[in-house]
Structure 1
Amino acid sequence: MIRIAKTENGLIRGFPAADPRITVFKGIPFAAPPVGNNRWRAPQLCTHWDGIYNAYEYASISIQDTPGLGTDIYCREWHVDPHIPMSEDCLYLNIWTGAQHPDDKLPVVVWFFGGAFQWGYTAEMEFDGERLARRGIVVVTVNYRLNLFGFLAHPELTAEQEESPTNFGHLDQRAGLLWVIRNISHFGGDPGNITIAGQSAGGMSVMVHLTNPSNFGLFQKAIVQSGMITSPYPHSFFGPPPSLKDAEAQGVAFFSFLGVRTLSEARQLDVKYLLRKYNEFVKTHPRMMTVYDNKTCYGNPLYLYMTGSHAHVPLLTGNTLNEFMSGITAATEEAYRMQVNTLFGDKAERFLRCPEAWMHHPDIGYAPINTIEYTTKSVLLKNQAQGGTEPCYYYQFMPDIPGWDNPGAFHSSELWFFFETLAKCWRPFKGYHYDLARKMCNYWTNFVKTGDPNGLDHDGVPLPEWKPYGNALPYQLLFESAGPKLVLQPESEFTKLLIDKLAHQILNEEGNNDEKNSGF
């Protein structure tokens, strides 16, 4: 086992995981602390240390709302500790490795957590990489700056640092990836066999990196879990990234709200004050997240992927059954028909002839859909129609999730399964849940190793075959309570209409403007 490893900054000591064949290194600095004059700058290089750095504990999480104080499902699920250390000094990563020697050249996965770019951290209990590492891969989880600390834009920033005016959170992720490329061989990993992966905002981050030409060649595979998000209906959870000009204007308004005139003054403000004022500011302004700056983000990643402007690597992607649901809200049938006419133009009657168009959910409205499912399918199919040839493996996660709150297959629930960390959850999972998690984890790690999720289960029996999703053969792997099931499911007329509408919407970069999108 590798208990002490060499890095570019000095020697580092890890410790045995629960399985002593795995070594864990926690809290490894990969960049200088982003404090003082480094606040709102691209990550700077780490300083060297003498002796051996003991990587025994997670480092402080990024500045964000205190975890564990709410009553929402995420506070019940994993944001449980209000006393977890938090600091602006947060650029650290963690490694799990089962390598025996530095020259083992094991496949590597680099994980970016989710949380709407406002919350989240690598220390969340579901992100324990031990079970993945036991399958013969090296697991790296990278922390990054969030909210105003990760995504502020301002004219002074652009003038001061033209090459990195904003998107500091994504720059942190890239710095972590580059650190891995430079150092992971000392932990038994192969810098030439890297998968970048993430869920929700982490999956959206993977999409940003997939469509940034400066990243092409840095990784060989990608995993996007619940990270392609928009809607064919008027309400969308996420739209295209704002332009740098619009984000700068928001930054100017935020500085005015803070009561400061210059960037220098803002860099001297206390972090708690900044976060408190930000939480007041976003009551009337959008939250700060990915910006289209043409330096790190080159446009709407959904559009860029659709049109082939992305790293051409194998992709594993999908969604959970009961996340990001959306529908058309209308008080009467007549009002509903009017909205459909506006949204669908000359295709409105085709839409209204579909039985799904008349389904109604009291909390969602007419024609309810899972927006991530439809967005993902639209992006994949349009990319293939325009000549994309890289294999794309699509899944839907839909087992029963037990608990008094009857949550369904909620957003992020698959994380317990892909990381095979169900035993850390409070929910009364049963044996078949553990069987499903084992298989999901095997698929995931097979993909990290080879770009193909297929292979053997632990008992030597082949996993149910998972075939790529495509226009001619739209195979989907359903993760059901009874186990994985491959289905060849041609899309219905309703689904085709919405997928085509989304493609038109994204390709025209018109967000969710219902006037402009009519008659696609």
Structure 2
Amino acid sequence: MIGRHKGKVRAWMAAAAALAMLAAPATAQKRGMVALPGDPVETGSGKVAGTQLDSGVHAWLGIPFAQPPVGANRWAAPKPIRWQGVWNADRKGPECIQVLRPHDINHYFGEEATSEDCLTLNLWAPADAGKGAKRPVIVFIYGGGFTIGSSGMANYDGEAVAKAGAIAVNFNYRVGAFGFLAHPELSKEQGGHSGNYGIMDQIAALRWIRENIAQFGGDPDRVLVMGQSAGAFSVASLIFAPEAKGLFSSAVMLSGCNYRTPWPTLESAEQTGLRLQERLGAASLAKMRDLPADRILAVQSENQVGARVEGIRIGGPILDGKVLPLQKDAALKAGALARVPVIAAYTSDDIDIAMSPLGRITGLADYRAQAEKLFGADAAQFLKLFPASTDEQARAAAREAARAQGFVLAARQCAVDQAKLGQATYIARFSRHHPFRPGVAIVDVDPATIGAYHTSDVPYWLGTLDAYNSLRPTRDWTAEDRALSASMLGALIAMAKTGSPDTPALRWPAWSVRAERQLDIGAAVAVTPLDVKRIEWMEAHPLDRIAPAGVRSHPID
């Protein structure tokens, strides 16, 4: 197999290049590179050459932004990378090692190679955005519960963003045990802290973008960082991370603006790391680093994309004392977080409903019984705020209550905290249903009942509607869907450019204490008031979240 690197590089770079060829979809394999005027681009890591897509967009795909996190670099902070010669960046790199996806699920867009050697980014630019063009930059961070996800997925592609006039970037970060393992031996090795390697990867990628994006026509001072689900939780973590300060100027969190939920402590995460070591039967950290990656993956808990592994649950940011030095409440009190405008959005049938005990109400009798069980003496107040007299009304009221205590509450809390920092928050509720093709069979969703599901807004924001028909027809997109997507993408670019998503095509006022409003994006688009009374009541009566009943109707990423 022929590697893509033409310069004098280390053997592992050539191997990574060969593996990336395997990761490319069949369509990319069939066309060679189309040379770009002005290439190679000189970056701080070395020279890169990209390719022109059929749309005319210029793309540099699979650029390494850090050394491969393998060998001694497994469970270590990402290290800067340099190469000699020209890196041919014409195809996406492998996803960070994780379980692979069945082919009959909603979010299958083609087989991807998976590897520990995965710290690469993809960059798309308009054809006329040469060096010094200072276009706004949109950086997308994938979700997946911090155990799966990939920048190579077609629904996260940046080509449409570039066609609309901005620079688009996405990147891989380590997930699961490889991205978030904390362990006493690691903490001793790393100055008293461990874990959060995936967040460090994100910071390293943003730093690379900051240092190099001007060479591709981007403005390093107008960088919007955007994430969905675990990607949104990542963005929130970056807002609280001192090392990420100054690396972005605005933020978007889809289904996961969270300024209040505490991070797990280093001590508790270290105990989880010790349990993983015990399950692996490894005598030491050195022995754990010697294990093949699939052995570690095999004992990691996973309940997404059809996987059912009851192992050790590792994934997500922790209060490590370095990357995240302060708990959220302390950081908010001290004002020790990034001061940037944000968009906080959620979907009307989001996963927060499935994670609430109210999301499983079967009828009126069940609804009333659960109200008594969950709220005790306050059950009458609850039933007055969320009234129902039929089975159908009971199910709808229960879902509305679950929603009021889920992502809409989190979005409002973010807005309240942002206001104290003097920063704007724009809240959106996405309620448009995908137009599933009649009779289409998708194993993990029921098109008849799925609604505006968790992640259903992503292709509208990024202009990737057609990705869902790339392998088999599943949606019958309408002209209205495409027009709405164009308006949402335009709002996103405006946010990156000016700090506000308000545009002539999508009028969007900021939330304020005097006018608690959101943009409702559904069959029609309208500015609607938040139901503050219900939200505040549910905030005062917190319920424990529960694991979703399977993943059939709520794909995680």
* TM bracket, shorter-chain basis: 0.7 to 0.9
- What corresponds to 1:178 in structure 2? 207
- What corresponds to 2:517 in structure 1? 475
- What corresponds to 1:316 in structure 2? 343
Q: What is the CA-CA distance between 1:135 and the residue it aligns to? A: 2.5
Match of 2:493 among 413, 425, 445: 445
Calculate the TM-score normalised by the size of structure 1: 0.85
1:297 aligns with 2:324: yes
1:495 aligns with 2:531: no
For residues 498 and 29 of structure 1, do their structure 2 counterparts lie closer, same or farther at Cα, with a shift above 3 Å needed?
same
Q: What is the CA-CA distance between 1:58 and the residue it aligns to? A: 0.4
Match of 1:89 among 117, 121, 129: 117
- What corresponds to 1:45 in structure 2? 80
- What corresponds to 2:106 in structure 1? 76
Q: Residue type of the partner of 1:479? A: I
The answer (yes or no) to whether the contact 1:195–1:222 under 8 Å persists in 2 is: yes
Match of 2:296 among 257, 263, 274: 274
For residues 205 and 301 of structure 1, do their structure 2 counterparts lie closer, same or farther at Cα, with a shift above 3 Å needed?
farther
The answer (yes or no) to whether the contact 1:360–1:367 under 8 Å persists in 2 is: no
The answer (yes or no) to whether the contact 1:4–1:13 under 8 Å persists in 2 is: yes
Q: 2: CA distance between counterparts of 1:411 and 1:47?
A: 39
1:419 aligns with 2:466: no
1:392 aligns with 2:399: no
The answer (yes or no) to whether the contact 1:107–1:138 under 8 Å persists in 2 is: yes
Q: Residue type of the partner of 2:87? A: Y
Q: What is the CA-CA distance between 1:45 and the residue it aligns to? A: 1.4
Match of 1:353 among 365, 376, 384: 384
For residues 105 and 230 of structure 1, do their structure 2 counterparts lie closer, same or farther at Cα, with a shift above 3 Å needed?
closer
Cα deviation digits, residues 378-403 of structure 1 (max 9, x gap):
41343157x23211111111112122
Match of 2:411, SS? helix
Structure 1 residue ranges without an equivalent (≥5) = 232-238, 456-461, 506-510, 514-520
- What corresponds to 2:451 in structure 1? 408
Q: 2: CA distance between counterparts of 1:479 and 1:115?
A: 24
Match of 1:278, SS? coil
1:261 aligns with 2:283: yes
The answer (yes or no) to whether the contact 1:380–1:470 under 8 Å persists in 2 is: no
For residues 362 and 257 of structure 1, do their structure 2 counterparts lie closer, same or farther at Cα, with a shift above 3 Å needed?
farther
Structure 2 residue ranges without an equivalent (≥5) = 1-36, 303-307, 441-446, 470-474, 547-557
Cα deviation digits, residues 410-446 of structure 1 (max 9, x gap):
1111111111111222311111111111111111111
For residues 29 and 302 of structure 1, do their structure 2 counterparts lie closer, same or farther at Cα, with a shift above 3 Å needed?
farther
1:434 aligns with 2:474: no
For residues 323 and 256 of structure 1, do their structure 2 counterparts lie closer, same or farther at Cα, with a shift above 3 Å needed?
same
Q: What is the CA-CA distance between 1:125 and the residue it aligns to? A: 0.5
- What corresponds to 1:18 in structure 2? 54
Q: Residue type of the partner of 1:193? A: R
Q: What is the CA-CA distance between 1:353 and the residue it aligns to? A: 2.4
Cα deviation digits, residues 24-78 of structure 1 (max 9, x gap):
000000000000000000001113222x211011011110001235x5xxx323x
Q: 2: CA distance between counterparts of 1:158 and 1:337?
A: 46
Match of 2:194 among 159, 165, 169: 165
- What corresponds to 1:458 in structure 2? none
The answer (yes or no) to whether the contact 2:386–2:397 under 8 Å persists in 1 is: no
Q: Residue type of the partner of 1:173? A: Q
For residues 376 and 287 of structure 1, do their structure 2 counterparts lie closer, same or farther at Cα, with a shift above 3 Å needed?
same
Q: Residue type of the partner of 2:454? A: H
The answer (yes or no) to whether the contact 1:306–1:383 under 8 Å persists in 2 is: no
Q: 1: CA distance between counterparts of 2:367 and 2:526?
A: 40
Q: 2: CA distance between counterparts of 1:364 and 1:38?
A: 48
The answer (yes or no) to whether the contact 1:63–1:146 under 8 Å persists in 2 is: yes
Q: 2: CA distance between counterparts of 1:106 and 1:138?
A: 6
Return 268-277 or 357-366, whichever deviates more.
357-366
Q: 1: CA distance between counterparts of 2:397 and 2:535?
A: 21
Q: 2: CA distance between counterparts of 1:306 and 1:322?
A: 33
For residues 173 and 474 of structure 1, do their structure 2 counterparts lie closer, same or farther at Cα, with a shift above 3 Å needed?
same
Q: 2: CA distance between counterparts of 1:142 and 1:163?
A: 28
The answer (yes or no) to whether the contact 1:24–1:97 under 8 Å persists in 2 is: yes
1:213 aligns with 2:213: no
Q: 1: CA distance between counterparts of 2:218 and 2:451?
A: 37
Q: 2: CA distance between counterparts of 1:119 and 1:38?
A: 20
1:32 aligns with 2:54: no
Match of 2:298, SS? helix
Match of 1:369, SS? helix
For residues 305 and 130 of structure 1, do their structure 2 counterparts lie closer, same or farther at Cα, with a shift above 3 Å needed?
farther
Cα deviation digits, residues 62-107 of structure 1 (max 9, x gap):
10001235x5xxx323x3434x211100000010112542111212
For residues 376 and 245 of structure 1, do their structure 2 counterparts lie closer, same or farther at Cα, with a shift above 3 Å needed?
same
Q: 2: CA distance between counterparts of 1:395 and 1:366?
A: 16
Q: What is the CA-CA distance between 1:288 and the residue it aligns to? A: 2.7
Q: What is the CA-CA distance between 1:145 and the residue it aligns to? A: 0.4
The answer (yes or no) to whether the contact 2:129–2:135 under 8 Å persists in 1 is: no
For residues 454 and 256 of structure 1, do their structure 2 counterparts lie closer, same or farther at Cα, with a shift above 3 Å needed?
same
Match of 1:240 among 239, 246, 262: 262
Match of 1:66 among 87, 94, 100: 100
Q: 1: CA distance between counterparts of 2:418 and 2:184?
A: 39
Q: 2: CA distance between counterparts of 1:425 and 1:490?
A: 32
Q: Residue type of the partner of 2:98? A: Q
Match of 1:76, SS? coil
For residues 257 and 230 of structure 1, do their structure 2 counterparts lie closer, same or farther at Cα, with a shift above 3 Å needed?
farther
Q: 1: CA distance between counterparts of 2:209 and 2:153?
A: 21
Q: What is the CA-CA distance between 1:512 and the residue it aligns to? A: 6.9
Match of 1:194, SS? strand
Q: 1: CA distance between counterparts of 2:485 and 2:426?
A: 18
For residues 490 and 100 of structure 1, do their structure 2 counterparts lie closer, same or farther at Cα, with a shift above 3 Å needed?
closer
Return 129-138 or 118-127, whichever deviates more.
129-138
The answer (yes or no) to whether the contact 2:257–2:344 under 8 Å persists in 1 is: no
Cα deviation digits, residues 295-330 of structure 1 (max 9, x gap):
122455588558844211111121011012024468
Match of 1:141, SS? strand
Q: What is the CA-CA distance between 1:131 and the residue it aligns to? A: 1.3
Match of 2:144, SS? coil
The answer (yes or no) to whether the contact 2:227–2:235 under 8 Å persists in 1 is: yes
The answer (yes or no) to whether the contact 1:43–1:171 under 8 Å persists in 2 is: yes
Q: How many residues matched?
A: 478
Q: 2: CA distance between counterparts of 1:413 and 1:220?
A: 26
Calculate the TM-score normalised by the size of structure 2: 0.79
Match of 1:204, SS? helix
Q: 1: CA distance between counterparts of 2:466 and 2:72?
A: 43
Match of 2:526 among 485, 492, 495: 485
